[in-house]
Amino acid sequence: MASITVFAVYFVVWWVTFVAMANMGEKSQADLNDIQRGTPAGAPHSFNLKRKVFWVTIVAAIVTGFIYWVIAHSGLTLDDYPFMPDYSFNKK
């Protein structure tokens, strides 16, 4: 697998992981009964972006490594998965 392909897969996996983990483990202001004036009650009480980016980077690297292993070393290809139905008229 080419390095640019690995980077592209990592980029997509990183963003999907970031969106999935963005609110994970966060406490809202309403949960802690500390609602700041001018903010919605559901706003996070404290959001540590550096910690989130660190963990997202670790998880995305592991997922990308697994995807790389499946493609490069396991012998599985997209041809092994019958996800495209055959709509041709010349079936035998």
pLDDT in tens, 5-63: 899 999 999 999 999 988 888 888 888 888 888 888 888 888 788 999 999 999 999 99
Tell me whether residue 45 is exposed, middle or buried, using C-beta atoms within 10 angstroms of its C-beta: 0 to 12, 13 to 18, 19 or more: middle
Ramachandran region, residue 26 (left: φ > 0; alpha: ψ -120 to 50; beta: rest): beta
The number of domains in the chain is 1
Residue 87 belongs to some domain of the structure: no
Q: Is residue 55 part of a domain?
A: yes
Contact 67, 14 (CB under 8 A): no
90 part of a folded domain: no
Q: Is residue 8 in some structural domain?
A: yes
Confidence of residue 89 (pLDDT cuts 50, 70, 90): confident
Please give the span between the terminal C-alpha atoms of the chain, in angstroms, as a whole number. Answer: 35
Q: Looking at residue 80, what is its pLDDT? A: 74
- What tokens were used for 91? 């079936």
Domain that holds residue 29: 3-80
Question: In which band, very low, low, confident or very high, does the pLDDT at 92 lie, cut at 50, 70 and 90?
Answer: low
Residue 24 lies in a domain: yes
Is it the case that residue 1 has pLDDT exceeding 80?
Answer: no
Residue 64 lies in a domain: yes
